[in-house]
A and B are shown apart, each in its own frame.
Chain A
Amino acid sequence: MNKPLCERPAVVRFSPCRMPLLALTAALCAIGISGCSDPEPVERNAPEFDLVSADDANEDIDTYVLPQDTAILDEDNADEIFYGKRLLNETKRLLPDNVGAAMNCNSCHIAQGKIPLGDPYINSYNHYPRVMPRSGTEVDLEARINGCFQRSMNGKVLERDSPEMLAMMAYMQWLSQKTPETHKVDISNAGEVDTSLTPDTDRGEQIYQAQCATCHGDNGEGLKDSRGDVVFPPLWGEESFNIGAGMARTYKAAAFIKYNMPMGIQTQGLWGHGNVLSDQDAVDVAEFFTHQPRPDFADKVNDWPSGKKPPDARY
Chain B
Amino acid sequence: MQKWLLRIGAVVALGLVLAFALGKLLPHWRTSSSDIEVDISDQDAIESGKYIARTADCVACHTTLDGKDYAGGLPMLTPLGAIYSTNITPDPDTGIGNYTFDDFKNAVKHGVRKDNSALYPAMPYPSYQIMPDDDIAALYAYFMSAVEPVNQPNRDSDLPPVLSWRWPLAYWQTLFASGRSFEPETDDEPLARGQYLIEGPGHCGSCHTERGVGFQEVALSNSGSEAFLAGATIDGWRAKSLRGEHGGLGTWEADELSEFFRTGRTDTSAAFGAMADVVEHSTQYMTDADIDAMSHYLKSLSPAAGKETAPDSKEDVTTQKLLDGDYDSRGAILYAEYCQVCHRADGKGVARIFPALDGNSAVYSTDADSVLQITLNGGRMPDTSHDRMAFTMPEFINLSDHDVAEVVNYVRNSWTNEASEVDVNDVVKMRDFLNKKPKTATEFPPDLGVSAAAQGEPRE
Binding site for B on A (CB under 8 A): 1-7, 10, 12, 17-18, 20-22, 24-25, 28-29, 31-32, 38-47, 68-70, 72-73, 82-83, 86, 89, 93, 106, 111-112, 203, 206-207, 209-211, 213-215, 223, 225-227, 229, 231, 262-272, 276-278, 281
Contacts and interface: CB of A to CB of B under 8 A. Distances in A.
A2 B367 contact: yes
A44 B398 contact: yes
Given A42-B431, A210-B388, A223-B350, A269 B394 contact: yes
A211 B449 CA distance: 10
Interface of B: 79-80, 160, 162-163, 171-172, 175, 213-214, 233, 236, 323, 325, 327, 330, 333-334, 336-338, 340-342, 344-346, 348, 350, 353-354, 366-369, 377-380, 387-389, 391-395, 397-403, 420, 422-433, 443-446, 448, 450, 453-454
Given A38-B428, A70-B334, A272-B392, A1 B420 contact: yes
B158 to A, nearest CB: 12
Contact of A206 (B367, B369, B454): B454
Contact of A86 (B214, B325, B424, B426): B325
Contact of A44 (B325, B327, B400, B448): B400
Contact of A40 (B428, B433, B443, B453): B428
Contacts of A29: 79
Given A41-B427, A213-B388, A266-B392, A271 B80 contact: no
A115 to B, nearest CB: 12
A227 B348 CA distance: 10
B80 A41 contact: no
Contacts of B389: 211, 214, 262, 265
A290 B16 CA distance: 79
B425 A38 contact: yes
A266 B445 contact: yes
Contacts of B398: 44-47
18 contacts: A1-B368, A2-B367, A4-B429, A28-B79, A28-B163, A32-B80, A41-B400, A42-B401, A44-B398, A68-B334, A70-B333, A227-B344, A264-B391, A265-B445, A265-B448, A268-B378, A272-B378, A272-B445
B380 A5 contact: no
Contacts of B425: 38, 41
Nearest to A285: B450
A1 B367 contact: yes
A268 B333 contact: no
Nearest to A71: B333
Nearest to B338: A270
Most buried by A among B172, B213, B353, B366: B213
B353 A265 contact: no
Contacts, number: 183
Q: Which 9 A-B pairs have the closest CB atoms?
A: A272-B394, A41-B401, A210-B453, A7-B79, A45-B398, A267-B378, A264-B391, A44-B400, A69-B337
Contacts of B428: 38-42
B393 A5 contact: no
B79 to A, nearest CB: 4
A138 to B, nearest CB: 33
A5 B428 CA distance: 10
A45 B295 CA distance: 43
Contacts of B420: 1
A69 B214 CA distance: 48
A313 B398 CA distance: 40
A99 B445 CA distance: 35
A27 B425 CA distance: 25
Nearest to A9: B213
B351 to A, nearest CB: 8
Most buried by B among A93, A268, A278: A268
Contacts of A70: 330, 333-334, 337, 403
Given A223-B350, A266-B445, A272-B394, A3 B369 contact: yes
Contacts of A10: 213
Nearest to B390: A265
B399 A44 contact: yes
Nearest to A7: B79
A29 B213 CA distance: 12
A12 B142 CA distance: 44
Most buried by B among A1, A10, A45: A1
A268 B395 contact: yes
A41 B344 CA distance: 29
Contact of B430 (A5, A31, A210, A269): A5
Contacts of A229: 344-345
Contacts of B378: 267-268, 272
Most buried by A among B354, B392, B428, B453: B392
B40 to A, nearest CB: 40
A28 B215 CA distance: 13
Given A43-B400, A265-B391, A266-B392, A12 B336 contact: no
B210 to A, nearest CB: 11
Given A6-B79, A41-B424, A207-B450, A268 B394 contact: yes
Nearest to B400: A44
A17 B174 CA distance: 12
Contact of A271 (B171, B341, B348, B350): B341
Contacts of A268: 378, 394-395
B350 A225 contact: yes
A21 B342 CA distance: 48
Given A89-B340, A93-B323, A214-B388, 18 more contacts: A25-B214, A28-B163, A38-B432, A39-B431, A69-B336, A70-B330, A225-B346, A227-B345, A229-B344, A231-B350, A264-B354, A266-B445, A267-B392, A267-B395, A267-B443, A268-B394, A268-B395, A271-B341
Given A1-B368, A12-B213, A31-B160, A38 B400 contact: no
Contacts of A264: 342, 353-354, 391-394
B433 A265 contact: no
B162 A24 contact: yes
A72 B342 CA distance: 22
